[in-house]
Structure 1
Amino acid sequence: MIMVEKTIIVEGSSDRKRVAEIVREPVDIICTNGTIGVSRLDELVDELFERDVYILVDADASGEKLRRQFKRELPQARHLYIDRRYKEVAAAPHRYLASVLMSADIDVHGEFLQKEGTQ
């Protein structure tokens, strides 16, 4: 069994799908479905205590609200940001998202880094 040490938290299932296509190493991708309740947040804090956690949410009001919650409850998490012009993680081009993930030392599939990366 492969030990998974990294967790990426995203908002929606389309975000999870997009990130999963790009990431090459084993990671857990947790979907909050846009909001997260206090009890679920407490569970996550306990669950993720010993792991490398990355927060990758949309560049909009609900994403920022979620990010603020995680900054309070999971201060050790690393926050990854997408450019506001893409608004949503799922709408960001593969190549752009791959470079954001790679900058956080997350291993990505090389084809997404090509000059003519897929959209």
Structure 2
Amino acid sequence: MEIINSFHSGLRNGINNNGYVVYCRYGLAHLICLPVNRPDDPLLNPALTHLKAMNGYYASQFLNNLHPVLNSEDIVSGLYQYAMQSPVALSDYSQSELIESLSLLVAHSKLLIIPLFD
């Protein structure tokens, strides 16, 4: 019997599926979405609130240590464009600047990181 994983790294579109599925360094799936795009699934885990601590330091560590194989190479830039809701020119920013901006959004509850595992 084969286990089929329905989650794929990258953008999820459709009704109640706006956001990005990313994999942490341990290979566990997480949904990163804006609060308005949070799915209305009562069985969905709550967002990880401990990532807000120390002005987003732990969110920064989470985003810096995403799984290198399971995630696409441009996942951080895609997350930034999704979070800002704009196709901004990303060539002006380094990866560390993008992660810093995303971690501040997590710290201010403008971006949610929701675990998709039990």
> What interval of TM-score do these two structures reach, taking the shorter chain for normalisation?
under 0.3
Query: TM-score, structure 2 length as denominator?
Result: 0.26
Structure-1-length-normalised TM-score: 0.26
Higher relative contact order (CA 8 A, sep 6+): 2
